[in-house]
Structures are given as C-alpha cells and as structure tokens.
Amino acid sequence: MRKHAWLPLVTLLASCSIGGGPTMHDKQSVELDTTETTRLDLKIGAGELKVSGGAAKKLEADFTYTEALKPTLEHRASGSSSEITISQAGSSGMSFGNNTSRWDLRVNDTVPIEVIAKLGAGQADMQLGSLNLRSLNVDMGVGEVNVDLRGTPKSGYNVRLNGGVGEAKVYLSRTTGISASAAGGIGEIHVDGLEKRGDRWINPGHESDPIQINVDARGGVGEIHIVAQ
C-alpha cells in the first residue's frame, strides 16, 4: 500500500458533519462515590476527543460544540459499579456544515476504570498512563488516534484497538510487562521497542512481572504503531 494513501479519504470524511450555527461551551462533572468500578463509555461521531487524568472528581468534562453535535452525559450507579456514558447528537456526522465538537475529559486517577471509545470522524488524544485502568477498548473510525499508556500501572489490563481509516499510535512504558499482538487489514502495522516471540511481541526482561499489559491491535485501512519507550 502506498504510504499515507488513506489521507485524502480521511480528510474528506473527517470534514463531513451535520448542522452548524453558534458555538456553545458547557462544563459537566460526576462526583466521586462509593462504587468500586466505573465504566466510561464514549461515543463520538465527529470531532476532537481528549482524555487525560488528574481530575479531583470522578470525571470533569469540558465540551465545546455546535447544537447539531451536542453531547449528552449520563451517569448510572448500581451496587458496586457505575457507568458514565457520553454520546453525541447527530453521531452519523455525514452532511456538510460549519461544525465544532471538542470533548476535553479528565478522569480521577484513583478510580478503577474501564474505558470504551467508539470513534467516528476526527482526532482522539488519550493520555491514560496515570489512570487506574482495568481495560481499554478503542474502535477507530476515520482520522487519527493517539493512546499514551506510559506510566506506572496499578494492575494489569487488556487493550483492544480495532483499526479504522487513518493512523493510530499506542505508546507503552518499557518498564512494564507487555505482550502485544497485531494483525493488519489494508494498511501497515509497526512495532518498535519490543521483541518478537512467535506471534507476539514482548518486553524482554519483564516477562515475569506481576503486572502485565496485553495489547491486541487489529488493522483497518491505514497504519497502526505500537511503541514501547
């Protein structure tokens, strides 16, 4: 495949969205509670997503958007678990207009959390190395995704990345046990800083570490980079 041959398609589709109108700004949050685990379910059809740690509350969200792409935040708690769902109106995002959709989300670093992100057209920057992650599942759409997991994990967890159309980069810490698998679609997969063992890549010298990060990346149309540093 010609390098970056997918870029014209990404540019076209990422520019497709609905509506237009004035830009609005909204801040929302979810308070800490007594639940033991939290699931963060993100469904953004078009726009820019940023996720990081450092929140004093369970979740602190800063939204900038036009009305057609207005986000909705829901929080439900039952027993020992809770779920936060953030979704977007008009998530198909396939007609033209002047639109804005930016989500800036900060998560509490101590809360055990599962993150599920279903991405449409746009960009995502996920700085998750400080979180108390229990699992991460990312379904790419059209655009660019950057997932930074460098840090000191509090427990082992699984990462699943399903490629879409565009480029995804996953950064891991060289001081952590890592086992990664990657299979291509119509595109390229690059793995740096890990050693190939059979059908997997591992972090040599950390095979017996009590905390392990397991990465499963499936390519779409474009490129996937897995980097340990």
pLDDT-based confidence at 33, cuts 50/70/90? very high
202-215 mean pLDDT: 96
Q: What is the pLDDT of residue 213?
A: 98
Q: Is the pLDDT of residue 95 over 50?
A: no
CA 76 to centroid of chain Cα atoms: 21
Q: Is the pLDDT of residue 221 over 90?
A: no
Q: Of 123, 180, 182, 176, which Cα lies nearest the Cα of 149?
A: 176
Strand partners, 26: 63
- Give the span between the Cα atoms of 223 and 226, in whole angstroms: 10
- Give the span between the Cα atoms of 113 and 38, in whole angstroms: 5
List the single range of 1-5, 118-122, 194-198 with lowest mean pLDDT: 1-5
Q: Of 161, 178, 173, 175, which Cα lies nearest the Cα of 224?
A: 161
173-189 mean pLDDT: 88
List the single range of 41-50, 93-102, 151-160 with lowest mean pLDDT: 93-102
Q: Is the pLDDT of residue 18 over 80?
A: no
Pick 2 or 59 by higher pLDDT.
Answer: 59
pLDDT, tens only, 106-163 = 999 999 999 999 999 999 999 999 999 999 999 999 999 999 999 999 999 999 999 8
- Give the span between the Cα atoms of 63 and 47, in whole angstroms: 11
Q: How far apart are the first and last CA of the chain?
A: 27
Helix (H, G, I), strand (E, B) or coil at 8: helix
- Give the span between the Cα atoms of 53 and 51, in whole angstroms: 7
Q: How many residues does the chain have?
A: 229
What tokens appear for 28 in the block? 């929302």
pLDDT, tens only, 60-76 = 999 999 998 999 999 99
CA–CA distances in Å: residue 41 to residues 82, 201, 228: 11, 29, 26
CA 91 to centroid of chain Cα atoms: 17
- Give the span between the Cα atoms of 28 and 106, in whole angstroms: 11
- Give the span between the Cα atoms of 127 and 53, in whole angstroms: 7
Q: What is the pLDDT of residue 20?
A: 63
